[in-house]
Chain A
Amino acid sequence: MGFAYRIEERPEEIITYRDALWRTMHDALARDPDVIIMGQGVDDHKGIFGSTTGLAETFGRERVFDVPLAEDGMTGVALGAALGGLYPIQTHIRCDFALLAINQLVNMVAKYRYMFGGRFRVPMLVRTVIGRSWGQGAQHSQSPQALFAHVPGLTVVLPSSADSILETYGTLISRRQVPVVSLEHRLLYDVAFRIPVPALEWPQAPLGSILRRRGRHVTVVATSILVLEALRAAEHLSQAAGIEVEVIDLHCASHPDREMILASVARTGRLLVADTSWCAYGVAAEICRLVCEHDPSALRAPVVTIGMAAAPCPTAKTLEDLYYPSLHRLTDEIAVLARGRAKHGVELPAEASMADVYKKFKGPF
C-alpha cells in the first residue's frame, strides 16, 4: 500500500460496532470537505442501521444524500467523483445489492488505476452489510468477499469489531489511496467492544490480518463475526480442555497476512478456516492455497474449513440454523483437529443459534 501505519492513541472505552461506524462517518465528514456519503436511505430516520443518522442534517444534503435505486450507475458516479477529487463513501444496506454494481466494481473501479498506466487513483469506500437471521433468505444474506477479493485492484475488508472499524476506516479514508469494498456484519452492529483492542499483533499496514489470540494447538483463521465465534470457542476449549487456539482475524480478504498465517501454522501444525461465506473457491480455499503452496509440510493434520452450507440461504429457522456454522460445531471441529480423533471427549458449549445469541449478547467483547 505504500504508507506507514500508526495506531492512533485512543482512550479506553466501550463502544458498539454501530457507534464506531457512526463516529468514523462523522469524523470523516468533519475532517475532509471532499468526503461524501451516498446510498439508499443514508439520510433517512434509520440511517443505515444508525451508522449515518443525522449526518445529512449536520453536514448538508450535498454531502450526505439519498440515491436512485441504481447500484451500478451510482458506483460509476462514485468512481467519477473520485476522479474529480472527492472521496465517496457508498453504502449498500445488503451485500447482495452490490452485485448489481459488478460491472462498475470489476470492470471499472478495480481497473481504473492499472488499465490507464497508473495515471489515476480512485480512492473510495463501498460499505456493504452482510444480513443474517430472521429469514433473511437467499438474497439478503450473501457474503461475497471472495468474489470481490478475486479481482486484482479491489481491496476487501471484513471488520470484525469496533476497533477494526475505527482503525481501518479511519486510516483508509484519511489516506485516500485505493478503492475498498467493506463487508460489515449486521449481527455485529449491536455488539459492544472494549477498545483499544487487546490484539497481540496489529498488522504493519491497515490492510493485513490481526492476531487476536495466541495458542499452540490449532490455528483458526476467521472472518467477520466468525472471529468472535472463534474467540468464544477458544475460550471454552482453553477452560474445558486446555486446548489453546490461536485466532487470526483475516480482516483483509484481498491482502491476507501470509507470514502471520504461515508462522502460526508452522507452530500449531493444524489449520481451521472459518468464513462467513461458502468454502468452495472462497476465503477458505484461498487460505488453504497459501499454506499448500508455501509450507505444506507444516500441516500435521488435514485442514478443516467451515462456512455456509453449499446452498442458497433458506428462511425456515430449522434450516437456517443448520445452514450457518454454530459455536457448537466450530468448537467440536477444533477439538477434533486438536485431539486428532472424533471422540475427543471435550465438553461442548450448548447448541444455540448464533443469531439468537447475538440478539441478546451485547458485549462488551
Chain B
Amino acid sequence: MTFADEREQLLYATLRIRRVEEHIARIYPDDCIQSPVHLSLGQEAVAVGTCAPLARTDMVFGTYRSHAFYLAKGGSLREMMAELFGKATGCAGGKAGSMHLTAPEVGFMGSSAVVASTIPNAVGAAFAARRRRTNAIVVGVFGDGATEEGVYHESLNFAALHRLPVLFLCENNEFAVHSPRSARQSYDITEHARSFGIAAKRCGAGFDPEVVRDAVAEAVLALRSGAGPRFIECATYRYAEHVGIGDDHQIGYRPLATCNEWRARDPLLNSRACLERFEAPIAAEIEDAVAFAEASPWPTPDALLRDVA
C-alpha cells in the first residue's frame, strides 16, 4: 500500500480498524464469534495515533476494549479473527477471545478484563526495560474508569518515584459502562496525574490520529531520554454500547447530540471520498481473515490443561 502522506497512512490504519469492527458487528448475530466484544468504534484514532510513534520493541498493555490497539500495534488480523472465533490458530490458541488479545511478537503484551489491572504490569515492564537497558518504552492503556481504582494510584506513584519509561494513556470516553464520570470522580484526571509529579497533558482530539500521534511522539521522545513517566488524557467517544454491537443512545444515559458532535469531527466520516480507494483492499483483507478463521481447526482437548503452570 502506498500513501500520499503520513496523514493518509494514519487515516488508512484508522479506517482499517473501523471496517474490521463493523464487520465483526455484522457477523456477530451469526454466533460465529463466541465471545463478548467491546468495540472500539469511535476510539480507533487514539490507538492508531498512540502506536504510530512506537517501535516494534516498545510495549503496549491494553484493556478488554483492545481490538484497535492490538491491530494498531501490528497484531495479525488473521490471528485476531481466529481468536474471536475460538480457533486454535488464534493469537492465544482460543483461550483469550476478544478480551485478552495479545501479540508479544509486536509488543502487544496483553489485555485484561479487570479494569486497571494491566497498569502496574506496564510499569513493571518499564522497570525491567530500564534495568536491562533495552531502550524500550512501555504504554499502559486504560479508560477513565480505571483512574478510580487503587492500583492506578499505586502504579503512578511507583512509576514517578522511579522515573520509569512508561506512558500512561487514558482513553477518556466519559463512561464506565453506563455511569457518567460526574457520578464517579471528584477530581480532574490530568490535574490529578500531575500531583504525582508526572508531566501530563490533555489531547481533546481523540478522533484525529494525527493529533494524537503528535502528542504521543513528543512524550515518546521524553521517555527515551529518561525524563520519567508521561501521561496523556485523550478525549474520545464510544459509538457503540459498552459491550456488544448495538447502538444504545435510545436508552438515554448519554445524549445522541453528543454522539453527533463527535461524528461531525470524525475524519473517517468527513474524508470518505479521499479514503475510498482503501475500501476494496481492506475488505479483501477482512474477507481473508474471516476465511482463515472459518477454515481453522478448533483447539484439541489436550489444550485444555496446557500452559496452566
Complex CA gap A107/B118 in Å reads 10
A73 contacts chain B at the CB level, 8 A cutoff: yes
**A81-B128 contact given A114-B95, A116-B110, A152-B309, CB 8 Å threshold:** yes
B110 touches A74 (CB 8 A): no
A108 touches B154 (CB 8 A): no
A20 contacts chain B at the CB level, 8 A cutoff: no
B80 contacts chain A at the CB level, 8 A cutoff: no
> Which listed segment binds A: B3-11, B155-163, B170-178, B241-249?
B155-163
Number of residue pairs spanning A and B whose beta carbons lie under 8 angstroms apart: 154
Chain A residues with Cβ below 8 Å from B117 are 76, 103-104, 107-108
Chain A residues with Cβ below 8 Å from B168 are none
A116 touches B92 (CB 8 A): yes
B95 touches A82 (CB 8 A): no
Provide the main secondary structure of the chain A interface.
mixed
A116 touches B95 (CB 8 A): yes
**A83-B124 contact given A36-B131, A103-B151, A108-B117, CB 8 Å threshold:** yes
Complex CA gap A34/B307 in Å reads 23
Among candidates B61, B120, B132, residue contacting A86 with C-beta atoms closer than 8 Å: B132
B132 touches A68 (CB 8 A): no
A112 touches B110 (CB 8 A): yes
Hey, which bits of chain A sit against chain B, CB under 8 A? Answer: 1, 34, 36, 62-63, 67-68, 70, 72-86, 88, 103-104, 107-108, 112-120, 152-155, 178-179, 254
CB distance from A119 to the nearest CB of B (A): 5
Chain B residues with Cβ below 8 Å from A117 are 90-96, 102, 307
Chain B residues with Cβ below 8 Å from A108 are 112, 114, 117-118, 121
Hey, which bits of chain B sit against chain A, CB under 8 A? Answer: 59, 61, 90-96, 100, 102, 104, 109-110, 112, 114, 117-129, 131-132, 134, 138, 150-151, 153-155, 157-158, 161, 306-309
Q: List 7 A-B contacts (CB under 8 A).
A: A77-B124, A79-B124, A83-B121, A84-B134, A85-B128, A86-B128, A108-B121
B161 touches A68 (CB 8 A): yes
Complex CA gap A36/B132 in Å reads 12
Complex CA gap A74/B124 in Å reads 8
Complex CA gap A63/B130 in Å reads 12
Among candidates B92, B125, B153, residue contacting A80 with C-beta atoms closer than 8 Å: B125
Name the CB-closest residue of B to A177: B309
B125 touches A81 (CB 8 A): yes
Name the CB-closest residue of B to A101: B151
Interface-centre pick from A67, A75, A80, A120 (highest chain B CB count, 10 A): A80
Chain B residues with Cβ below 8 Å from A103 are 114, 117, 151
A77 touches B155 (CB 8 A): yes
Complex CA gap A314/B125 in Å reads 41
B155 touches A155 (CB 8 A): no
**A68-B121 contact given A107-B114, A116-B95, CB 8 Å threshold:** no
A118 touches B127 (CB 8 A): no
CB distance from B304 to the nearest CB of A (A): 10
B119 touches A72 (CB 8 A): no
Name the CB-closest residue of B to A178: B309
Chain B residues with Cβ below 8 Å from A116 are 92, 95-96, 100, 102, 110
A84 touches B125 (CB 8 A): yes
B132 touches A115 (CB 8 A): no
Enumerate the 8 nearest inter-chain pairs by beta-carbon distance, A residue then B residue, closest first: A80-B124, A84-B128, A76-B120, A73-B154, A117-B92, A118-B307, A70-B154, A117-B93
Complex CA gap A82/B117 in Å reads 16
